[in-house]
Amino acid sequence: MPDSVDPDDLLTRLGWDDRWAAMLGPTALRPARVTRVDRGLYGVLGAAGPDRHGLGPNLLEAAAHDPLDGPCVGDWVTLRDWPDDRVTIDAVLPRRTVLVRAQVGGTSHEQALAANVTTTAVVAGLDQQPSMTKLERLIALAWESGAAPVVLLTKADLARDADDVAADLMSVAPGIEVICCSVLDGRGIERVRELAAAGTVALVGSSGAGKSTLINELVGADVLATRDIRSDGRGRHTSVRRELVLLPSGGCLVDTPGLRGVGLSDTGEGLAATFADVEALIAQCRFTDCAHETEPDCAVRAALDDGRLDVRRYESWQKLQREVAWMARRKDARLRADELKRWKRRTKDQRSARHR
C-alpha cells in the first residue's frame, strides 16, 4: 500500500458518493464523517484526515432544541472554516438511515445511535443460549432504522450446535440472514467483511457479545478495547462510546457499547416488519379490532392452537406491542407539554409587549 492516501479516495472509502455530492452542491464547506462523539466534541474523518471539532452556532441551537438534530456517529457533516482559523461543524446532511432508540426512563426523547448505516448487525454470543425475545427487540430496532438487519452469532467456536441455533433463528426471523462467526476459527468473518465493503455495518447487542473483538479482527489490529478474558466482567461494559472505524479492506463498521433497555420508537413499523407472520395472521381475523381472545374466526388463536404460531413468539409480540402503544401515548403527552410551554411563552411575550 502507498503511504500517502489520496484525499478523495479517503472520502470514497468512507462512503461519500455522487448522491452525497449532489446533496452538498457547490460550496466552500468541506464534508466529513462523524466517527465519535465525546461530550461537546465530535471526532470527524474527512479528506484532511482525522480531527475534532465543536458545533457551529446554528447546529448548537438546533441540537439544544432536539438532540436528534445534532450529529451522531456515521453522520455526514459540513465543516466551516472561519477567518480566525477556527473550524466548526456547520450542518448535518440529511440521513439516509438512522438507528434510533427511545430513551429509557425519564423523558420520551429519542437518541440517535448511528446514521447512514447500510446493515444493522444484531450480535449475540453463542457462549450462552441466545434470547430470542431480546433478539426480536433488536431486530425491530434495526428494521426501524431503514438499514437491513442481519444476525451475527459470535463465538461459534464455543457452541457445538451453532448451525442448529442459526437454523432455529432463521425460522423465527423470516427473511433475515443469520451468520455464525468466530474470531478463533475464522468462520463468518469474510461475510461480515463483504457486508462492510458495501457500506457501513453497525453492530448492536449485549455487552460481552464480542462486537469490539470482531471489529479488531476485521481491521487486523487492536483499535478498540475489548474485555479481558481473565476478568469475570459480569455486567461490565467494556466499550463506553460509539465509534466508526474505517476498514482497510473497504467500508466502515460502527462499534456500540452493550445495549441495555432498548426502547422502540412509537411508530410500530419495526415491530410490524419483525413480526410479519403475526401481522399476516391478524389481517385474517374476522374482526378488525379482534383482541385474539374469544372472538370467532380469530386467525391468531387458530394458529396458536395448531402450532403454526409459537406461543413464545406471540407473547413477545404482545409485549412489544404494548410497549409501542405506551411510547406513543407518552410522546403525545410530551408534545402537549411542549405546546403548552410554547403557548405560555408567547402569551408572556405579548403581555410584555403590551406593557411596553
Ligand X SMILES: Nc1nc2c(ncn2[C@@H]2O[C@H](COP(=O)(O)OP(=O)(O)OP(=O)(O)O)[C@@H](O)[C@H]2O)c(=O)[nH]1
Q: Which is nearer to Mg ion, 46 or 130 (CB)?
A: 130
Is residue 118 within the footprint of Mg ion (CB under 5 A)?
A: no
Which residue lies nearer to ligand X by CB, 104 or 280? 104
> Cβ 1 to ligand X, closest distance in Å?
27
CA distances from residue 48 to 6, 51, 80, 89 in whole angstroms, order as listed: 10, 8, 13, 14
22 labelled ligand-binding: no
229: contact with ligand X by CB under 6 A: yes
Annotated ligand binding at 66? The verdict is no
Residue with cell 487492536: 222
Give the three cell numbers for residue 248. Answer: 482497510
**How many Å is the Cα radius of gyration of the chain?**
23
User: Binding to Zn ion by residue 300, rule CB under 5 A?
Assistant: yes
**Was 211 annotated as part of a binding site?**
yes
DSSP-derived 3-state class of residue 299: helix
Question: How many residues would you count in the chain?
Answer: 356
By CB under 6 A, is residue 134 in contact with ligand X?
no
Phi, psi for residue 22 in degrees, rounded to 5: -65, -35
Query: In this chain, which stretch among 66-74, 97-105, 190-198, 279-287 interacts with Zn ion, using CB under 5 A?
Result: 279-287
Q: Which of 285, 309, 320, 327 binds Zn ion (CB under 5 A)?
A: 285
The amino acid occupying position 348 is K
Residue 187 neighbours by CB under 8 Å, 6+ apart: 156, 180, 181
Residue from 257, 295, 321, 330 binding ligand X (CB under 6 A): 257
Residue 119 known to bind ligand: no
Cβ proximity of 254 and 224 under 8 Å: no
Binding of Zn ion at residue 298 (CB under 5 A)?
yes
CA-wise closest residue to 211 among 150, 261, 254: 254
Point out which residues bind Mg ion (CB under 5 A): 211-212, 238-239
Point out which residues bind Zn ion (CB under 5 A): 285, 290, 292, 298, 300
Binding-site members for GTP are 154-157, 205-213
